[in-house]
Amino acid sequence: MTDAVVGSPADSLHDDAVSYDVTSSERVFQGRIWDIRRETFAYGDGEITREYVDHTGAVAVLAIDDEDRVLLIKQYRHPVRMREWEIPAGLLDITGEPPLTAVQRELAEEADLLAAEWSVLAEYYTTPGGSDEAIRVYLARGLTPTAEAFARTDEEADIEVRWVDLDEVVTAVLERRIQNPSTVIAVLQAHVARSRGWQTLGPADAPWPRHPKLRDGDGDGDGDRDGGGASGS
């Protein structure tokens, strides 16, 4: 059994970005929305080969009104055969589109809403052992309706929209009644952030160095894939 390393209270707990020499990299499958990549890299005294989903990344938004109600949408997710309650989200699949612009577009397209205040709420990798998908979750406040409703298609054509008190959504998460990862992370983080006076929020245009495709700091999307706007998470 490995001994645990105990740090002092002053130690900063954080993940580390590292780089290993990639000796080969090939796309073994090209899909409509994302690809599968096989890479071999030097590690220790040898080499390791891994296959993973090569993903554009995505953005999501927790929209909260003046009464602390959260906007949720319910739509069909085919791989898991579920209609899930989730927050609006979408792929970073338009070349040159910054994440903030992308999430503002998604809120307008999925919920017919604009927001005056934007902040970074959370960032995470969906499945770091098998995908490079990174998601940034924003908090949107100061909500107003768009001038016109957006014409939705595919799984978004029959979405159900509901406003739910943040505390009620937290309870639904803790009771495992809703399990969409972006929603779970967003509502729990918002619950804690609110208790701390929202001091943990980041600026809406903050760099996103943890996104594998944005580590040069330009903050632009990477894609133009024919996949629509629905995030996989």
User: Within a 10 A sphere around the Cβ of 84, how many other Cβ atoms?
Assistant: 16
| Beta-strand pair 58-63/134-145 | parallel
Among candidate residues 84, 86, 156, 168, the one labeled active-site is 156
3-state DSSP: the chain helix, strand, coil percent, rounded to 5? 20, 35, 45
Q: Which of 95, 101, 117, 17 is nearest to 59 (CA)?
A: 101
Count of H helices and E strands in the chain? Answer: 3, 11
Has 156 been annotated as catalytic? yes
- Tell me the β-bridge partners of 91: 58
Question: CA 112 to CA 149: how far, in whole Å?
Answer: 6
> Which residues are within 8 A (CB) of 23 and not within 5 positions of it... i.e. 6 or more apart?
40, 41, 42, 47
* Catalytic residue positions, numbered: 156
